[in-house]
Amino acid sequence: MTATNPPARIVLALGAGGARGVAHAAVLRGLRAARVPIDAIVGCSVGAIVGAMHAAAGMEPDEMLQAARRLNAMSLFAFALSRWRVPVLSRAASRHAGAIPGYLERLERASFERLHHGVRRLGVLTFDLKSREEVFLLGGPGLPSALPVCSAVKASAAIPALFPPLRARLGGRKVLLADAGWFTAVPVERAFAPPLLARRVIAVDLSLVVCLRQARRAYWRSLQETCGDRLLVLRPDVRGCGTMVSWPADPDRLIAAAEESVLRALPTLRAWLREAAPGAAFLDSPGVSC
């Protein structure tokens, strides 16, 4: 790590979750209320969208929550159809996409070089369909990314059969980038690994189906044993709160569940902040990859 790129103090890792992604904005609001400083955000799928809208486009959590309340499944699918290269279909669908194109324009104007709300680094996890490998795009002031913010987010949210994958060239090779959430639900390891080397990670897990959470239990247990109290996992109660293809019937219940998960974590978060006081080892020790 150099003086211009020190290890990240607290990294927020936002996972996949489809329409349940509104919970990420609620977690951000809860963390802001608790005055928890977020040094970097890493996300995949809807987590990448929320992270980029906040850190790169500068949206406040309240603004994102208001936007989520105005969206619905019809506007999402209409927007998805408008992205496919079928002129007649695209034109017809774009008329029903609601406010989504406007938010996309904000991302198109955003830049990794100009991050907001104290965030110093923004990472987006995608999956290359050609090489069948994950591709992690990291950027920030003084740290150029291989792709612009908007392109990185489009790739990370390119759900197969819904949104077209992103064709790009990285490091001299052609890639076909799509949603990585099918393989990595929450990009925790990317937060701990170089170059971020997070000292603390707050991970938001929006897994819906109980069996999926059970299948990942061994993974989370192993990660927790390795990283110890450097990892805090928030698991809002998202049951009945929407899926990949259906919108939450009651977004406010999902928002409340997400904020409740932050409240439950306040003792740990306050302990972290006490350790982060001037002169504490939390700030002075180098980041170590779990």
Scanning the structure block, which residue is given the tokens 């908007």?
150
- Beta-strand ranges (E) seen in the chain are 10-14, 40-44, 121-128, 133-139, 166-170, 173-179, 200-204, 231-234
pTM of the model: 0.88
Does 194 map to a domain? yes
Domains held by the chain: number: 1
DSSP per-residue codes, 249-261: S-HHHHHHHHHHH
Does 289 map to a domain? no
176 SS3 class:
strand
Does 4 map to a domain? no
pLDDT in tens, the chain (290 residues): 555 567 779 999 999 988 888 999 999 999 999 999 999 999 999 999 999 999 999 999 999 998 888 776 666 666 666 666 655 555 555 555 566 777 788 999 999 999 999 999 999 999 999 999 999 999 999 999 999 999 999 999 898 777 889 999 998 999 999 999 888 889 999 999 999 999 999 999 998 654 455 556 777 788 888 889 999 999 998 876 655 555 666 788 889 999 999 999 999 999 999 887 654 444 334 455 66
Scanning the structure block, which residue is given the tokens 């990294």?
11
Q: Give the model's pLDDT for residue 249.
A: 61
Q: Give the model's pLDDT for residue 83.
A: 60
What b/e readout covers 24-46, taking b as 16+ CB neighbours within 10 angstroms?
Answer: bbbbbbbbbeeebebbbbbbbbb
What's the angle, vertex CA 48, arms to CA 223 and CA 159, rounded to 5?
100
Q: Give the model's pLDDT for residue 53.
A: 96
User: How far is C-alpha 221 from the geometric centre of its chain's CA atoms?
Assistant: 22
Q: Give the model's pLDDT for residue 279.
A: 46
The CATH number that applies at residue 205 is 3.40.1090.10
Q: Give the model's pLDDT for residue 281.
A: 41
**Domain hosting residue 272, numbered range:** 10-284
